[in-house]
Amino acid sequence: MISTLKFIAIGVSLLIVLALPIVSYMKFRKDKSMFKAVLFGLLVYFAMNILYGVMQSTIANPQTMENPIMVGATYGIFMSVGFVLAALAVLSFVIKRNEVSYKFPAMMALGFMLLFFVSSISALMNQFMFGFAINSGSTASAVNPSATPEQVQAFIDSLVNAPLIFFINSALTRVFEYAVYMMSFILVFRGIKENSFVKTILPAVLAIFLLYAIPGLLNSLPFGIYLAMIAQGLIAGASGYFVYNYLKGEKA
């Protein structure tokens, strides 16, 4: 059985993930370049994934590693390097050919995160509906007909046995990522505009690296998942504060 508390956690997480793009759209909707920025943000997303795939196939594959610290460190390096290279290429092209507002990199972050949001929303909705199916004893009607009994049972066990923090973390991860990537877009944007890459690119690389490396470093410790969430939250909080000051300062 899935507890009521877990359903509440899934529901709250779903609302949070839905709210992130909606609130961002409401904030930026009056900017005429928003649609263009979202498209370029999506382009960075796809370019980063291509670069990640190249690094994964030529350097190392985190999925085949057993040491969680090495998994986290490798994933963090690939994600940070892939993002910065993709963002540098796309933003350099955009700035060279267009006059863009100070909000442009923040709006690119919305486009970049769109598929992350869609993935989380889909997963949370599936968990919500499948949880009801488990409690009503009608799981057969809620799964893909091609799924084997073993696969169905494994999914049931994963939902029933998952700790409450697992469902809460689904939303918090997206909040943390959004803050860090928005800051990183702004840093890359400023680096290109001001021609000062060391002071801007290195903090972006470090923030993204830590965001993904921290779980591998801490999750094996007692209460590691909570420590990792706190550490990631601090990084995201600092990133969000930077974004807030940037948008407020540039507007003024």
pLDDT (tens digit per residue) in 72-88: 899 999 999 999 999 99
Average pLDDT over residues 105-112: 96
- One-letter amino acid of 14: L
Our CA angle for 198, 200, 201, nearest 5°, is 70
Residue 144 confidence (pLDDT): 60
Residue 251 confidence (pLDDT): 60
Residue 252 confidence (pLDDT): 45
pLDDT more than 90, % of the chain: 58
For residue 38, pLDDT over 70 is answered with yes
CA dist., res. 136 & res. 40, Å (int): 45
CA dist., res. 232 & res. 235, Å (int): 5
For 128-185, what is each residue's pLDDT tens digit? 887 877 777 766 555 566 667 677 777 777 777 888 888 888 899 999 999 999 999 9
Task: Report whether 206 contacts 189 (CB < 8 A).
Answer: no
Q: How confident is the model at residue 105 (pLDDT cuts 50, 70, 90)?
A: very high
For 205-220, what is each residue's pLDDT tens digit? 999 999 999 988 887 7
Residue holding tokens 């992130």?
20
Domain count, the chain: 1
Average pLDDT over residues 24-29: 93
Q: Which domain holds residue 88?
A: 4-251
Q: How confident is the model at residue 239 (pLDDT cuts 50, 70, 90)?
A: very high
Instruction: Compare 186 and 101 and report the one with higher pLDDT.
Output: 186
Task: Report whether 180 contacts 211 (CB < 8 A).
Answer: yes
The number of beta carbons lying within 10 Å of the beta carbon of residue 91 is 22
Residue 141 confidence (pLDDT): 54
Residue 138 confidence (pLDDT): 66
Task: Report whether 105 contacts 188 (CB < 8 A).
Answer: yes
Mean of all residue pLDDT scores within the chain: 89
Residue 199 confidence (pLDDT): 85
Query: What are the angstrom distances between the C-alpha of 188 and each of 4, 83, 136, 195, 201?
Result: 44, 10, 51, 10, 6
CA dist., res. 110 & res. 78, Å (int): 21
- One-letter amino acid of 108: M
Residue 250 confidence (pLDDT): 66
Average pLDDT over residues 102-130: 92
